[in-house]
Homo-oligomer: A and B are copies of this chain.
Amino acid sequence: MVVKNLMGTNVVAQIGIIVRDIEKTSQVYADFLGVEKPPANWTDTVDKAKTKYQGAASPARAKLAFFDMGSLQLELIEPDEHPSTWREHLDEHGEGVHHIAFVVEDMKGTVKRMEANGMPLIQKAEYTGGRYAYMDTTDDLKVLCPYMHTFHHIWTQQMT
């Protein structure tokens, strides 16, 4: 790794979990945590979200539900069938942790620094109130720890 402290933060803001059936899984978590089942909403369409996956525009969307877990947010993600990091994760790894998210102040700069250090951008999009970028750290971590998948996707989000 060339540059240290690539993101400028170490605060985990969100844990993102890929699920097959968000309605069912949301209810399980709601009961388990003793809270109301949150609504599950679709992400915006590509014209509004400007979703790019592997460098190309993608119509991919996902249904999202959020739980307040004290200091961080738990995000459940049910992907649709179109190409996305979410769909890829479900097809290749099944349900489970997809990303650990950090909120960064300078998203463009952070993406550049990470890409310069062998962690390419794999998906980005916009949404009401912000934008996100999933960075793929697989190549970099493969060198040092071949089977590490935890930080496979790091979601760096810039609040606008």
Contact = CB atoms under 8 A, between A and B. Distances in A.
B11 A71 contact: yes
A31 interface: yes
B15 A67 contact: no
Question: Which of A10, A15, A71 counts the most chain B CB atoms within 10 A?
Answer: A10
Contacts of A94: 147, 149
Interface residues of A, number: 47
B31 A141 contact: no
A160 to B, nearest CB: 22
A97 B95 contact: no
Contact of A24 (B17, B96, B144): B144
Nearest to A12: B69
B68 A10 contact: yes
A151 B1 CA distance: 31
B12 A35 contact: no
Interface in A18-58: 19-21, 24-25, 27-28, 31-35
Contacts of A149: 94-96
A50 to B, nearest CB: 28
Interface in A86-111: 94-97, 100
- 3 pairs of A and B residues whose beta carbons are closest in the complex: A5-B34, A11-B70, A71-B71
28 contacts: A1-B28, A1-B31, A4-B31, A4-B32, A5-B32, A5-B34, A9-B70, A10-B34, A12-B15, A15-B15, A15-B100, A15-B150, A17-B150, A24-B145, A25-B144, A25-B145, A28-B140, A28-B141, A28-B144, A28-B145, A70-B71, A71-B71, A95-B145, A95-B147, A95-B148, A95-B149, A96-B97, A96-B147
